[in-house]
A and B are shown apart, each in its own frame.
Chain A
Amino acid sequence: MRLPALNRFQTKLVLLFLSLFILVQIATYVAVYLVTVRNLDREAIRHLSYSGEIFTRAMQERADMLADGAAVLSNDFGFREAVATDDDPTIISALSNLAGRIGADRSFLIGLDRLVRADTGTSAPLVGQSFPMSGLLDHAEQHGRAVAIRELDGQLYDFVVMPVLAPVTIAWVGLGIRLDDAEARAVRDLMPQGMEVAFLDASGSGPQVLASSMPLLAPDIPAVLPRGGGPASLDLAGGEYLARAIDLRNDDGVIGATAFLQYSMDVAFGPYRALIYALLALLAVGMAVLAWSSTLVAGSVSRPLRLLADAAGKASRGDYQPVALMPSRDEIGQLTDSFNRMVTSIEERERTITYQAEHDSETGLPNRRKFEALLNMFIETSPHQSISVVVVTVERVNEVRNTFGFATWERLIGLIGPRLIDSASGAGMIARLSTVSFIIAFPGLDVAAARRAAEDLRNGFEQPFTIDAFTIDSNAQIGIANYPDHASTAEGLVQKASIAVMQGQTGGATVSVYDPERDSHTAERLSLMGDLKKSLAAGEVLFYYQPKIDLKRGVMSHVEALVRWRHPKLGFIPPDEFITLAEQTGHIGHLTAWALESAIRQCGAWHEAGHAIRTAINLSARDLADRTLPFVIARLLKKYAVNPGWIVLEVTESAVMQDPGQAIDVLDELKRMKLTLSIDDYGTGYSSLSYLKKLPIDELKIDRSFVTSLATSAQDQILVRSTIDMGHSLGLKVTAEGVEDEASADLLRAFGCDLAQGYFFSRPIPVEELDRFIQVSPYGKVAAVE
């Protein structure tokens, strides 16, 4: 079973490692970044302050350089002479010469009257005008020189003014260097990288950039200029800067211009960017390495787990495969060992459980479930092959248990299996169906062949079983069902074969093939039972009575009560059908209760009317298993004031044989109550005479199969005659049923048979007709109540 990738342990482990790593890396990154940025800010402020000093010093040096130049000029004797003598051409020439020598852009000579006498290097000379920085002259007079930065004609100049002394002041000489972008860059170059310099005029009309080391930046500056304060953070042209402004105060006290220092944080960040990239690269490489290595590690852990999981999945489907892994001493190894031990022991246990589930513990034979599974498999693989299923119900087994105890019973059961196997030739498989039933499949056998095989099986039971000193006789009731004739599944075949066993019991055959005609186990018939109770209440179930004729006296001394069901839709339903059905479905109790009460009440009624008619009631095996039966009958006898001697209870041999111990107990009790007991259908069962002797019976009813053709069959005559003789010699009365002709009646009378019953005398008839029968029939004479 393959888990989705995300749920896999390996994936989880890798994800865990990776996320931890990323978390740590991000933390490191953030920490580095924050520290860097803070350091940068601090560094930027330091740089700004430091750059301010550099800037001031640079400006000072420029002024000194200018002053030196001016001093040279003002101290030049020739120049002084020219000034003193008003030699203007010489003056201008000297000024130009000096300016050229020291790189000044402009030079002045100012007279004592403060009018400009000479002005070089400009298109708009100030000659004749008042010198615009009059205060500087005073300062220069006082201090030997004066320095100023001042805008002239839209350009910024660094001026120095010095007196011309001859030896007293006879004039002033002024020199100016233009502060242009190149100068700003030159100053900038002295400062830390990332620093930019701009010069702005300080006029009242708003600052205007006059020179800048970074021209593109220039237009933005005025708007954001932080005046007089400390460093301020600015966003200029998309970049981040830290900036400060320095007012450039001239020697005369006037603010000549403002210098603007701005430190590019981006540039400052430059060296750290490499660090950040390195960190990111480290993160990427680390992630790759970690992913790879943790996949390996996780794989080494999860592969055995996956194998174990797969093996566990297989084990859950019954495939017990131990996991083959390199032996290791770690937890995985221990788990694998434990798992393999577990799988092995589960497999063993399952085998045991399966065996137990499929086998019978007493005989070691497969059980029904297993049998059906195998049979179904066989049917599935060879659907066109005929299979016969034989159910063998061993009789008298339970009697052995009651007589000899469980241990002997178990040993007997244990002997039956091998006996069956010995006698079953061509058997495919054998299984135990229930306590006393076994089931055998004969593949390839049709019904006829199966019947022969079943005979062999039955013959196997002729040999008694020997346990210790005991010798136990047993016989078997055998039912056969065939695939595909009777059912198409194993379950159906087993059921049908079981039904065949019962059909054999009721039909008096030891071996019987399933007869669908006689199968009461159909759904339709089951639903019939639902109607039975209603019909009982509605009087739709009723008794017909068949006279029994006392052959010696020629009178009707008995009637047999025979139940009839006049179903409102189905019409008459034969008693064989619905009684068997009622027995099998548990409805027999109601029927028996009704039957006993009806018959006993009717018997009472007849005696009340002066007819001494004895009434015979049929009891089923189920009735005989009911220990309360004697009490029920005693209550009814009392209720209808019926003498027990007026009631005859007829039981079949097979009914007694189903549980002889119990049945005999009940019969003994009934006998003690002075009820007459009669064995019905005598001659069809297998009861031995010794059994017959044990039964507390008063009467034998010879089965109609021996009587019907009595007149024509010499053999039947012998059988019937000897049975009558035997009955009489046992002190029993003998009744013959199925008398259909006069000859038979005469023979029976001649044989000394006590009672006769049959169509020759009368069919079973309702109570009303019986009254007429009594009046009109030659056999309708009834003895009067004494």
Chain B
Amino acid sequence: MKRLRRALLCYLSVCGAVLGQTGPAAANEVTVAVVDDTGAAVPDAVVSFTSPDPALNVAAERRQAIMVQQNKEFAPHILPVRTGATVRFPNRDEFRHSVYSFSKPKIFQFNLYGGDEEKKEVFDKPGVVALGCNIHDNMLAYIYVLDTDNFAQTGEDGAAGFGTLRPGRYNVAVWHPRQRAEVPAQDVALVAGQALTVSFRLPLKPPAPPRGVPQ
């Protein structure tokens, strides 16, 4: 724990130094750190900043996303998208897949489609959409539909940085497919010129076993 904290502080100071030198003056240095209930860094958690002011949630370049099916796997495993985003599903395997979702925000099914085909789907309701393949049980991916463009995934160090958030009031949420329970979002106020660090403790379940190989 102590070592991790020290590492984190060290990282933050370095980041701050870098951003302070290179970032625009209007930008605020915002960092979200996620640890699990053992204090270990949680990578791949999706962190989002949603503002009551819709204007603050918009980022133009976030309308397209892609979920690749390759090597009998989805890539990426977690795909956060803005509400209304169109997600393409290119099949890069030589065999066919049959992608489906029974998740409430988006129920759909691409019946068997081959490598030369590409499917598209618009995700217009926020929420978690679990993707599976009816052919390959082990294929699993999540599309996390958010009402904001301000989201990022934590890295290996469990931290996600935001450099373009405009000052204002935000609701900070975190999500991970293995989270044991939902963690309450935090309300933060981002003040211009001020750095902001938000921490989450997110208990995780152990990784699920590979499908079809019962123990």
Chain A residues within 8 Å of B, Cβ to Cβ: 67, 71, 75, 77, 80-81, 84-85, 141-145, 162, 165-168, 170
Contacts and interface: CB of A to CB of B under 8 A. Distances in A.
Nearest to A144: B214
A30 B107 CA distance: 82
B214 A84 contact: no
14 contacts: A81-B102, A84-B102, A85-B102, A141-B205, A142-B205, A142-B206, A142-B209, A143-B214, A144-B209, A144-B213, A144-B214, A162-B214, A166-B130, A167-B211
Across chains A and B, which 4 residue pairs bring their CB atoms closest together, nearest first? A167-B132, A84-B102, A144-B214, A143-B215
Contacts of A167: 130-133, 137, 139-140, 211
A77 B100 CA distance: 10
Nearest to B130: A168
A165 B102 contact: no
B134 interface: yes
A165 B137 contact: yes
Contacts of A166: 100, 102, 130, 132
B136 to A, nearest CB: 10
Contacts of B206: 142
Contacts of A144: 209, 211, 213-215
Contacts of A84: 102, 107
A75 B135 CA distance: 10
B215 A168 contact: no
B213 A75 contact: no
B177 interface: yes
A144 B206 CA distance: 12
Contacts of A145: 214-215
Contacts of A168: 130, 140, 177
A71 B213 CA distance: 10
Contacts of A67: 214
Nearest to A142: B206
A148 to B, nearest CB: 15
A160 to B, nearest CB: 10
Given A75-B137, A144-B209, A165 B132 contact: yes
B191 to A, nearest CB: 39
A288 to B, nearest CB: 69
Interface in B117-145: 130-134, 137, 139-140
Interface string B128-171: 00111110010110000000000000000000000000000000
Given A166-B132, A167-B132, A168-B177, A143 B209 contact: yes
Nearest to B207: A142
A567 B46 CA distance: 176
A61 to B, nearest CB: 14
Contacts of A142: 205-206, 209
Contacts, number: 47
Given A85-B102, A168-B140, 4 more contacts: A81-B102, A162-B214, A167-B131, A167-B139
A109 to B, nearest CB: 15
Contacts of B208: 141
Contacts of A162: 214
Contacts of B102: 80-81, 84-85, 166, 170
Contact of A77 (B107, B134, B214): B134
Interface string B40-70: 0000000000000000000000000000000
Nearest to A167: B132
Nearest to A143: B215
Contacts of B130: 166-168
Contact of B211 (A77, A141, A165): A165
A264 to B, nearest CB: 38
A470 B203 CA distance: 170
Contacts of A165: 132, 137, 211
A555 to B, nearest CB: 180
B87 to A, nearest CB: 17
A80 B107 CA distance: 13
Contacts of B212: 71, 75
Contacts of A81: 102
Contacts of B213: 144
A162 B212 CA distance: 11
Nearest to B133: A167
Nearest to B98: A77
B140 to A, nearest CB: 5
A162 B177 CA distance: 20
Residue picked from A141, A145, A166, A168, most chain B C-beta under 10 Å:
A168
Contacts of A71: 212, 214
Contacts of B131: 167
A162 B131 CA distance: 20
B96 to A, nearest CB: 15
A67 B215 CA distance: 10
Nearest to B215: A143
Contacts of A75: 137, 212
A305 B163 CA distance: 134
Nearest to A165: B211
A141 B132 CA distance: 17
Contacts of B211: 144, 165, 167
A142 B205 CA distance: 9
Contacts of B209: 142-144
A48 B169 CA distance: 73
Nearest to B210: A144
A265 to B, nearest CB: 40
A132 to B, nearest CB: 22
A169 to B, nearest CB: 8
A307 to B, nearest CB: 96
A165 B214 CA distance: 13
Interface in B59-115: 100, 102, 107
A81 B134 CA distance: 11
A134 to B, nearest CB: 16
Interface string B176-215: 0100000000000000000000000000011011011111
Contacts of A80: 102
Contacts of A77: 100, 134
Contacts of B137: 75, 165, 167
A84 B104 CA distance: 9
Contacts of B177: 168
A165 B139 CA distance: 11
A81 B100 CA distance: 10
A167 B134 CA distance: 9
B119 to A, nearest CB: 17
Contacts of A143: 209, 214-215
Nearest to B136: A167
Contacts of B100: 77, 166
B145 to A, nearest CB: 16
Nearest to B140: A167
Residue picked from A143, A167, A170, most chain B C-beta under 10 Å:
A167
A110 B96 CA distance: 32
A145 B208 CA distance: 12
B182 to A, nearest CB: 14
A482 B142 CA distance: 164
Contacts of B133: 167
A143 B213 CA distance: 9
Contacts of A141: 205, 208
A491 to B, nearest CB: 130
A170 B101 CA distance: 12
Contacts of B205: 141-142
A378 to B, nearest CB: 131
A283 B206 CA distance: 74
A71 B139 CA distance: 17
A16 B140 CA distance: 93
A81 B130 CA distance: 13
Nearest to A64: B214
A166 B130 CA distance: 8
Contacts of B134: 77
A95 B183 CA distance: 35
A395 B40 CA distance: 166
B205 to A, nearest CB: 8
A67 B130 CA distance: 24
